[in-house]
Structure 1
């Protein structure tokens, strides 16, 4: 079985009101979870991962409220990878820009894709089964 299909042993889920303070809390929670899981804060993926979490939560706060009253952040890690997801209940599923924006696109998702691509990671948008929300999942190698 591919290691990408195996569950990650460390997982933390955080649900917050879709409000500006959620960005800070999500970032601080990511820092704490990574430290508890033994990920060195100096690891080259940590600072970009924190920025990715911040950008994704900020996008949910900016674009999904209302109708989404909450944003849920999932953090997961294993020996060789880190996965981050941000979920809201806004039905719009954004198109992820190419990692190489060439200066044509700016904003949170372009930053997320640039960082993800530079680290050799992946990103995907997954819609809820009922069409009423979505998650953006980012997986980064450790």
Structure 2
């Protein structure tokens, strides 16, 4: 998988966000895009024999879930000590939006899927700030 896959995944996610009601220039959209980029970059770094990574977005029940699947069956360590810098950033961004990171074996192919769940923030009316 080539390094341009990070840019392509980020662009695809960015194009999808407005379709599911996420303001494209919001801090939340920025967090989602950074998470997508980091997850695909991790596939390039750690799942070197993966020809492609599948990136999916699901929105429902007040949550947005990004899923990135690859062909490497090794699950990432999800404790703070086991995470690398990129995955730690992903976990911190998810936590900022009452979310979490998880990973599980893929059900339809040899490999794994990493899930990042976010609670979609409620939009505030214009001119109303948070104290």
Give TM-score, length-normalised by structure 2.
0.81
Distance in 1 separating the partners of 2:91 and 2:57: 18
| Structure with the largest fraction of strand | 1
Q: Give the conservation status (yes or no) of the 8 Å contact 2:101–2:115.
A: yes
The number of residue pairs the alignment matches comes to 120
1:89 aligns to what?
71
Aligned-pair Cα RMSD in Å: 2.1
| Separation (CA, whole Å) in 1 of partners of 2:69 and 2:40 | 9
SS at match of 1:70: coil
Partner of 2:47: 64
Residue 117 of structure 1, aligned match among 90, 95, 98: 95
Q: Which has the higher contact order (CA 8 A, sep 6+)?
A: 1
Structure 1, unmatched stretches of 5+, are 1-17
The structure-2 alpha-carbon separation of the partners of 1:122 and 1:105, relative to structure 1 and needing over 3 Å to count, comes to closer
Unaligned runs of 5+ in 2: 121-131
Give the Cα–Cα distance (whole angstroms) in 2 for the partners of residues 25 and 83 of structure 1.
18
